[in-house]
Amino acid sequence: MIGLDVLYVLISVFAVISALLVFIFKKLLHAALALTVTFLASALLFAAIGQTFIGLLQILIFVGGLSAYLIAAVATENKGKEMLKHASFFASAIVLSVAFTAIAFIVPQGAYLSSTFQQSSAAMFSQYYLVLFILTLLLFSTAIGGVIIIKKFRRLVV
């Protein structure tokens, strides 16, 4: 029990330090990596308190999806510098590797059969499917709008 408490405290301290580092780092790429560590720490904390499904989704959405996307975008900051381009590639690769390794650790054997996991996943795809559909449409329309804005601007430049 004491070991588990120590684990909780360690993950929490890790989350707070990385959250502070987001504003201490001057380079955006480093700040984005620190933010990724905060997301990862929160996901591990959820898994540690027994909310495996939420921890899993947190890793898939925040760490695997948003952070890799964010790092890839922020890394274009100094486009001409070869060094930073390689750094961004490795940073994205490391983030994705860490995310998938964390999934392997976060989901213990038989976790899919636990009642919390099954209740949460069942509620998502039966009770709340309409809300899920609307949110998906919101995300999709935002992404399409972003692409249209960027394409419109590129036409002006080229």
Partner 1 sequence: MFPYLIELAFILFAIGIAGIASDRHLVAIIFAVELILVGSIIALISFFTASAAPSANPVILLISIWAVAATEIIVLITFYVYMKYNGISFDITKLSKMKW
Residue 65 in contact with partner 1, rule: CB under 8 A: yes
Contacts (Cβ under 8 Å, ≥6 apart) of 51? 116
Q: Using CA atoms, how far apart are residues 96 and 158, in angstroms rounded to an integer?
A: 34
Least distance (Å) from partner 1 to the CB of residue 39?
A: 7
Among positions 56, 59, 61, 104, the unique one binding partner 1 when judged by CB under 8 A: 61
DSSP-derived 3-state class of residue 158: coil
Residue 123 in contact with partner 1, rule: CB under 8 A: yes
Q: Using CA atoms, how far apart are residues 59 and 53, in angstroms rounded to an integer?
A: 10
Counting Cβ atoms within 10 Å, is residue 32 exposed (0-12), middle (13-18) or buried (19+)?
buried
Q: Using CA atoms, how far apart are residues 128 and 135, in angstroms rounded to an integer?
A: 11
Residue 10 in contact with partner 1, rule: CB under 8 A: no
Residue 73 in contact with partner 1, rule: CB under 8 A: yes
Q: Which residues bind partner 1 (CB under 8 A)?
A: 5, 8-9, 12, 15-16, 19-20, 22-23, 28, 31-32, 35, 38-39, 42, 45-46, 48-51, 53-54, 57-58, 61-62, 65-66, 69-70, 73-74, 76-77, 119-120, 123-124, 127-128, 131-132, 135, 138-139, 142-143, 145-146, 149-150, 153-154, 157
